[in-house]
A and B are shown apart, each in its own frame.
Chain A
Amino acid sequence: MLAAILFVLGLIGLLTRRNVIFTLMSIEVMLNAAGLAFVAAGARWGQADGQVMFLFILAMAAAEVSVGLALVLRLHRLYKSVNIDDASTLKG
C-alpha cells in the first residue's frame, strides 16, 4: 500500500516537474517504491528473494543516478538550463 502511494507520488513528480533534477529524484522515488514492494512481498511470503532483488535495484539505482547526473551536466552546458522541456529537439 505504502509502496503504491510512493510509486504514484514519484510518477506525479515525474510528470509535473520540469526541472531535470526533480525528474531524476522522482525516478529514484519510483525505484525505491518498487524496491519497497519487493521487500514487503518478501516479508509477506517469507522469502529472501525480495531482499536480494532490492540489493540489485539499489546497485542499479546508483549506476543510473551517476549516468543521469552526467547527462544533466551535459544538458546544462548545452542549453544553459535544467528545464526538461527545452531539450525537445527530437520532436518528430
Chain B
Amino acid sequence: MLQLLWLIPAIPFLGALILALVGRAFSRRMVAVVGVGSVAIAAGISLAIVPAALALQAPYTQVLWTWMNVAGFRPEIALYLDPMSFLMILVVTFVGFLIHLYSAESMEQDEGYSRFFAYMNLFVGSMLVLVLADNLLLLYLGWEGVGLCSYLLIGFWYKDSANGLAARKAFIVTRVGDTAMLIGLFLLFHNLGTLQIQDLMHRASVQWPAGSPYAIAAAALLLGGAVGKSAQLPLQTWLPDAMAGPTPTSALIHAATMVTAGVYLIARTHVLYSLAPQVQFAVAVVGAATLLLAGFSALTQPDIKRVLAYSTISQIGYMFLALGVGAWAAALLHFMVHAFFKALLFLAAGIVIDALHDEHNIFRMGGLRKELPIAFWTFLIGGCSLAGLPLVTAGFFSKDLILWNAWASPHGGLGLWVVGIAGVLLTALYTFRVIFVVFFGTRNTPVTHRPRYRVIVPVAVLAALSLVGGLVKAPLLAFLNSALPALVEVRAGFLTELLSAIVSGLAFATGLGSAYLFFIRKRQYADALAASSAGRRLHAFWLADWAFDWFYDRAFVRPVVWMAAINRRDAIDSVFNAIAWLNRSAHFTLSRSQTGSLRWYAAVIGAGAVIFAGVILLA
C-alpha cells in the first residue's frame, strides 16, 4: 500500500500539467473535475495508507531515482514517511481538497478558471514534495515551488497593479529568508557531506558538540528560511499584503501550505536546534514577540481578510513558541488544528465577501447573522476555535498544551507563558471584534449572492473538524512522539497544568467580554478610545503593522530604488560601451583611408616600399 506514496505529490502535479497545457480548451465543468479531482485522489490515497502508516514500525523511505551524482554529491528523489510527514500530507491533501471544492464554486465566474486550478494544484503538489522530501535539497525544491505558486496566486488578478506589487513583495521578502536557508544548506553539506535529512541529523549529533558554532550557524540560517516562509518577525510584512489574492488562495496559503512550511522545517531538523540551545531560545522569542505584535495589529485592521492574516501570523507565533521550548509535537498538533479553523475562517469570510459583492471592510458589513446563517455559524465555530473557547473547541486543547509546555519545558519560563496568555486575550478580543461587527448590529450592505452546496459542504466539514479535532490530542501526540523526542516536563511548581488551562480560559473570557463591551454594548467606548490622541496614534501605528513596512521602505526599498534610478545607465556597462566606442572610432578612422582610388593605393604602396627600403638600407 505504501508503494502508492509517490502518487500523492505526482497526481496534483499531473493535474497542474494537464490544466496548464490544455486547460484552455476544457469546459468549466471539466476544469473543476480535473482540478478538484486530482487533489481528491491525493487525499484518497493518503487516507488509504492510514492503516499501513499506523502499523509502520520504522520510517518508510521510497527512493524513486537518483537526481544527480556529482563528485560524491548524490541527492535522490526520495520520499520519507514518518508520523510527522504523514500528519502533514493528511492535512495538506484533505484541507487542500476542501478548499479546492470550495473554489470550484466561488471562482466559477472568473475568466482565469483553469489557470487558477493549475496554480492551486501546483501549490499542493509542491507542498507535498516539501513535506515528503527525504533530503534537504528536494525539500528546498518544494520550498521554492510553494514560493513560486504563492507569487502566482497572490498576483492572480494581475490586471490590478496593486496585486502584482503584493505578489512581488511576497516573493522578495520570502526570498530573503530562502537565501539564508540556502546558505545554511551549503554550510551543512560542506561540513557534514550529505543533505539526506536522517543522515544529516545523525552526523550532526555525532560530530558537533552541543553549542558548537557550526550548529548555531546552521540552525540560525535555517531559522532565517523558516521565518521568511512562515511570516514571523521580522519578515512578516508580506503576509497581510498577500490578501490581494482570491480568498481560497489565502485559505490554502494559511491553512494547508506555505506558511506552515517553516514550522515543519524546524520540527524536521529539531536535532540541530537541540544542539544549538541559543537558537532554539531565539525561536521561542521570535514566536512570542510575533504572536503579541500580530495580535495588536489584528485589533485595528478594518479588512476582514487582513485580520485573519494577522491572526495567522500570531498563531504561527504560537507554533514557533512551542518549537522553541522543545514541544515539537505540540507545535504540529496546533498546526493541524490551525489548518482546520483557519481554512474554515477564510472560507466563511469568503462567503461573506462574495455575498456583499467583494466588500472587505468589516464596518460596511454588519447584521449578517440572519442573512447568512451558514457563514455566521461556521465563522463563529472557527473564531471560537481560534480564540480557544475552553473544553469545546480543538483550538483550546492545542493552544493550552503549548502554553503549559511553555512553562513546563526545561527551555520555557514564566515570561513565555505570560506572553502566551496575553496572546490568548488578544486573540479573543480581535476575533470577537470581527464577529460582533460583521454579524451583529445593523445591516449596511445588501446581500446579493448566497452560497450553494459546493461551498457549504467544505465549511461544514471544517467546522466539525475544528470542534472535534481536539479529541485526537492524546493518540496523536503518542503517534508523533514515536518520531520526535517527547517533552520532559521539569517544572511543576505553583503553576499546574490545570491552573494554566483555567488562566487561559479566563483570558479568553476577558477578551470575549471586552469585545462584547466595546463592540456591542458600548460602541462609543471603543470609538472614544480610538479618538483620543494616544489612542489615535497607537491605532495608526498598529494599523501600519508597527511601522515595519515604513521602516523597510525607508531602509531598503528606497535606497535600492534610488540607486537603480541614478544607475539607470549602468556604470559597469559604460566600460563595455567604451570598448565598443573605441573600436568603432578606430574603424571609422581607418575606413577614411579607403578612398576607392586605385592610384592612391598604388602611391601608398610605393611610398611604403620606399620607406621600408630606406629603413633596411639605413639600418
**A residues in contact (CB < 8 Å) with B:** 11, 14-15, 18, 23, 84-85, 87-92
Contacts and interface: CB of A to CB of B under 8 A. Distances in A.
A5 to B, nearest CB: 15
B599 A90 contact: no
Instruction: Please name the 9 residue pairs, one residue from A and one from B, whose CB atoms are nearest each other, closest first.
Output: A92-B594, A88-B596, A91-B596, A92-B591, A90-B596, A88-B597, A14-B602, A84-B598, A15-B603
Contacts of A15: 599, 602-603, 606
A12 to B, nearest CB: 10
A15 B602 CA distance: 7
B569 interface: no
B109 interface: no
B596 A89 contact: yes
A85 B599 contact: yes
A55 to B, nearest CB: 25
Nearest to A26: B602
Given A92-B591, A92-B592, A85 B606 contact: no
Contact of B596 (A11, A18, A92): A92
Given A85-B597, A91-B594, A92-B591, 8 more contacts: A11-B602, A14-B602, A18-B599, A88-B597, A88-B598, A91-B595, A91-B597, A92-B595
A37 to B, nearest CB: 14
A84 B606 CA distance: 18
B606 A90 contact: no
Interface string B589-619: 0111111111100110010000000000000
A90 B590 CA distance: 14
Contacts of B594: 90-92
Nearest to B609: A11
A18 B590 CA distance: 25
Contacts of B592: 92
A91 B591 CA distance: 8
Interface range, B side: 10 to 19
A82 to B, nearest CB: 13
Nearest to B592: A92
15 contacts: A11-B602, A15-B602, A15-B606, A18-B599, A84-B597, A84-B599, A87-B598, A88-B597, A88-B598, A90-B596, A91-B596, A92-B591, A92-B592, A92-B593, A92-B595
A14 B599 CA distance: 7
B610 to A, nearest CB: 10
Interface in B554-597: 590-597
Interface in B284-312: none
A7 B591 CA distance: 30
Contacts of B598: 23, 84, 87-88
A18 B600 CA distance: 11
Q: Which of A18, A84, A87, A92 has the most CB of B within 10 A?
A: A92
Contacts of A84: 597-599
A91 B592 CA distance: 8
Contacts of A11: 602, 606
B595 A88 contact: yes
Nearest to A17: B599
A18 B598 CA distance: 10
A43 B385 CA distance: 121
Interface string B40-73: 0000000000000000000000000000000000
A91 B601 CA distance: 12
B477 to A, nearest CB: 87
Nearest to A11: B606
Contacts of B597: 84-85, 88, 91
A11 B591 CA distance: 25
A84 B600 CA distance: 11
Nearest to B610: A11
Nearest to B599: A15
A11 B604 CA distance: 12
A62 B596 CA distance: 26
A85 to B, nearest CB: 6
Contacts of A23: 598-599
Contacts of B603: 15
A88 B598 CA distance: 8
A15 B603 CA distance: 7
B151 to A, nearest CB: 54
Contacts of B591: 92
A14 B594 CA distance: 18
A23 B603 CA distance: 13
Contacts of A91: 594-597
Nearest to B598: A84
A7 to B, nearest CB: 10
A85 B601 CA distance: 12
A31 B521 CA distance: 120
Contacts of B593: 92
B428 to A, nearest CB: 86
A92 B596 CA distance: 7
Contacts of A14: 599, 602
Nearest to A92: B594
A11 B599 CA distance: 10
Q: Which of A84, A85, A87 has the most CB of B within 10 A?
A: A85
B186 to A, nearest CB: 56
A17 B599 CA distance: 9
Q: Which of B596, B597, B598, B603 has the most CB of A within 10 A?
A: B598
A57 B489 CA distance: 111
A53 B226 CA distance: 89
Nearest to B603: A15
Q: Which of B590, B592, B593, B597 has the most CB of A within 10 A?
A: B597
Contacts of B606: 11, 15
A40 to B, nearest CB: 18
A84 B599 CA distance: 8
